[in-house]
Amino acid sequence: MQHINYNHLYYFWIIAKEGGITPACKKLSLTQPTLSAQLKQFELAMGKPLFERKKRKLILNDAGKTLFDYADAMFKKSRDMLDVLKGSPMTDLVTLRVGALATLPKKNLHNYLKIPISSSHANVHLADGSFADLLAKLANRELDMVLATRPAPATMGRLASFLLERVPLVFVATPDFKNLKRKFPFSMEGANLFLPTAEPEIKKQLDLFFTQHNVKPRIKGEIQDTELLRVIAVSGQGIAAVVRTAVSDLIKSKELYIIGDNADIWQDFYLITAEKKEQNPLIQMILKSHGEGG
């Protein structure tokens, strides 16, 4: 039976966590030639390379990602074991590294992360970015999950996408515009309208909706930031097309009024994770509360 050199496994784990040989050397207090040689011996023992070398960077390949998941769980258990032997109480603190689209409505984002944020056993790290960048970080184990408005492409087979919810797009404005509701969408002819542009597919559906009804509103702005759309609508400058959850509080307080909600245009929200990361208890909580796990 083949035995693993656990020193080598530990070095591999630190290199993967730190993102390269140089930062790992600082963590381990080893020289670069020594650590490089140890990694090479470990890869030879495993019978295959564990990293891809790209522009002096080490990126985990599929075999490396699988091994890293096992090593990560194993060394966490080791730390827990030592804490128990020392008589220290186990905190069971779980870190959740989340990536979210920069354009994701903040109310939706908070709603999905409400459980881990409120948990005394959770430590949430949140970063935003573009869809491509976030998926790349997820694939490289820099993130545990990504919140987005579309699923991961089928070409990224190691990632699993879960639909959290479908939210309708609504047209909202201050009560001064509420008379436009009676003959919507025809009452929108010539009306000042601010459109969302974060999702090109939503923009296409809006264009098709107005074309089908032969209505030409006055497009006053195309806004990527949902928060800005909220501000513009409340300011009374016109009508904003926005996902309902992003303005539900303003509708409830009657600061905004729904002019139309029958356009049959929906925004999907997804949780994307690496297959084995589904075992993260915080991700399971989110899925049970919002998604396909519930």
In whole angstroms, what is the distance from residue 150 CA to residue 269 CA?
7
Residue 278 has a pLDDT of: 54
pTM across the whole model? 0.67
Token pair for residue 167? 């939210």
In whole angstroms, what is the distance from residue 167 CA to residue 228 CA?
19
Residue 88 has a pLDDT of: 52
In whole angstroms, what is the distance from residue 92 CA to residue 140 CA?
25
Strand blocks (E) in 130-201: 145-148, 159-173, 192-196
Nearest 5°: the CA angle 227, 144, 98 is 20
- Domains with residue ranges and CATH for the chain: 6-83 (1.10.10.10), 94-164+268-290 (3.40.190.10), 166-266 (3.40.190.10)
Residue 253 has a pLDDT of: 94
Q: Count Cβ neighbours within 10 Å for each residue of 180-207 and write b for 16 or more, e otherwise.
A: beeebbebbeebbbbbbebbeebeebbe
Question: Percentage of residues in the chain with pLDDT exceeding 70?
Answer: 90
**Which residues in the chain land under pLDDT 70?**
1-3, 77-93, 275-279, 291-294
